[in-house]
Chain A
Amino acid sequence: MTGRRVAVASAVWLAAALAGLAVGPSRIRAMDALHALWSGPGADGLAAAVVWELRMPRVLVASLVGAALGAAGAVTQGLFRNPMAGPGVLGLGACAAFSATCAVALGLDAHGPMVVPAAAAAGVAVGLVLLLGVGRPGASPATLLLSGIALGAFASALSTLVLALSTEQWDLARKVLSWLMGSFESRSYDHVALAAGPVTAGIVLAWMLRGDLDVLTLGHEAALSLGVTPRRTGLFAVATVALLAGAATAVAGAIGFVGLVVPHLVRLRAGPRHGPLIVLSALWGAAGLVGVDAAARSLLAVSIPPGVATSLVGAPIFLWMLRRAARGWLA
């Protein structure tokens, strides 16, 4: 059963990726694009450039980001046993945004396209150290959750402060905003390389945590009696989420809703066990983000940020889901 679900999700992702490679704002025909894909990256001509230089990195970055956010959401919801938790509740996204804002405000972004991603990744790392260090050592998941919310509020306030103090820089707010909205624009293989390692490692770590997360659903005492230490699991899970969400945020900015909605939808179909949940959330996250991005790019004349597209698609789905769930409980 799980095997079939994985196969379906992989097929959907592959189809979305092919669609993302075949169609886009360029006037080249889909068949030419697929032919260029088949011919390999060395070929000359417009189609090869568009497919291999622009669309391929974009599709790969969207896949990595979607997979990372999906898996991170599944781990977060499992750890905190709170259906409303997403990777954002740890406040690490806000830390990434703060350090990216600082990098832009200091003008460091002029030194190359990878400076802001690196700053965002550093922000996540510092946020993680603060989260685990400032709170009591070995804090419980509930304490981590509250510390994360406080950390996020603090980092957001600092970002706003930097923006408020930099009124002289007109385009700072524009640059920061465009980063906050998330983007796959002009993403290169450098971005793919930056994200591939942490995302792969994060998904493997998440998958290895699946049993512990399952046991945590029994409650604190029962988990302890089964040899699972909730605090230790919490530590590993938070580090995993930081790795996943940090890599995603670093290469694509803030992209909302994927980490929250995808694990819920997967849970509805595939049940609450974390092994399938993590793998399927990663696959559906990748498929969803690539698909939404491809659809937005080929159907709309204007270019809208993927964070906006995912929220526009995700929020109604989520509301529909809540309605359905409420009906179920009332029945």
Chain B
Amino acid sequence: MTRRRDVLRSLAALLLAAACGRSAEPAGTSERTATAPRGGGGTKFASQTLLSDEILWDLGPQVRDRVVAVSSLADDPRYSLRPNLWPAEVPRIATGSEALVALEPDVVIVATFTAPEVRERLTHLGLELLVLPPMTGTAAYRRSVEAIAARAEAPEAGRELVARFETAFASHGRVRGIDPPSIVAYAAGVVAGSGTTFDEAARHTGWVNAAAAAAIAGHAKVDPERLLDWSPDAVVIPCGEDCGAAVAAFVALPGFDRLDAVRHDRVVAVPDPVLHATGFGLVDLAARLAAACDGIVPPGEVEAR
């Protein structure tokens, strides 16, 4: 323990020495937080993924108080569904930065996609890593919640959160008879095939994911010709601030005016953070997909699963 303190102290000193160059995470922040850490006792968490930012908050005030850092993307509206969720005094820390170490967390929550050298270094510095599973859908979300809740010694809060999520998600479930409409998520040439969050949400709400039906697994770049081949009933595209402009830009792409989805005005623009949601945002995605599907298949045939 004392050795670790020494390591941390020398790191902090190094940070101070290099303070001028590091505007994003000034050494002053780490100094302050280090001397007056958030939360009284218990395990201190530093979250390095958007999903764990969200789960830690949703686990309730008991857990929230023990969070010493959230990810640097937490407030970015392009990626985060709930920007400015966390109070300003919780530092936003970029992956693997020295400032993170200076906050002296007990557990750092990272993802499988976190760079191996970053994970290696954090482990080397004596920090415990909690690695979230690949974010492929509701099952992964459930496992992530359970893992974090267990480590935070709040399994009850975890069970509650999972139950709340599953009820909400299930409420958008649809079955569309023998010939369900097809849909494709298309983001700058990349489609979401099987084993993606989109695929699960689409199937759950009664769609056929045309990309998965064409044996595409994961996110893959496809030629625009294949999209014309599939000619799905609807296309989902991501959008930033101006979703109308995103639809117009998609329709203007060469050849796409011949798509059934375009002809029938079924290009659904979904804000980036919703389309790429890995956590509770999946409910929002499912709601949008269900609503879009209700517009194609008459509501009379729709029956809740």
Contacts and interface: CB of A to CB of B under 8 A. Distances in A.
Direct contact of A and B (CB under 8 A): yes
Contacts of A55: 225
Contacts of A27: 229
A303 B228 contact: no
Contact of B254 (A46, A167, A187): A187
A54 B255 contact: yes
Contacts of A168: 76
B229 A297 contact: no
A285 interface: no
Interface in A148-192: 167-168, 170, 185-189
Contacts, number: 64
Interface in B32-90: 73, 76, 79
B225 A25 contact: yes
Interface size class, chain A = 20 to 34
Contacts of A186: 189, 224, 253-254
B231 A46 contact: yes
Nearest to A168: B76
A7 B15 CA distance: 69
A25 to B, nearest CB: 4
Given A26-B228, A49-B228, A113-B249, A189 B223 contact: no
A1 interface: no
Most chain A CB within 10 A, of B76, B79, B253, is at B253
A167 B23 CA distance: 13
Interface size class, chain B = 20 to 34
Most chain B CB within 10 A, of A27, A53, A110, A189, is at A53
Nearest to A186: B253
A188 B258 contact: no
A110 B254 contact: no
Given A186-B189, A303-B221, 13 more contacts: A26-B228, A28-B229, A46-B228, A49-B255, A49-B258, A53-B255, A54-B224, A54-B254, A110-B240, A112-B249, A186-B224, A297-B223, A303-B222
Interface of A: 24-28, 46, 49-50, 53-55, 57, 110, 112-113, 167-168, 170, 185-189, 297, 302-303
Ordered nearest first, which 4 A-B pairs have the shortest CB separation? A53-B255, A26-B225, A49-B258, A25-B223
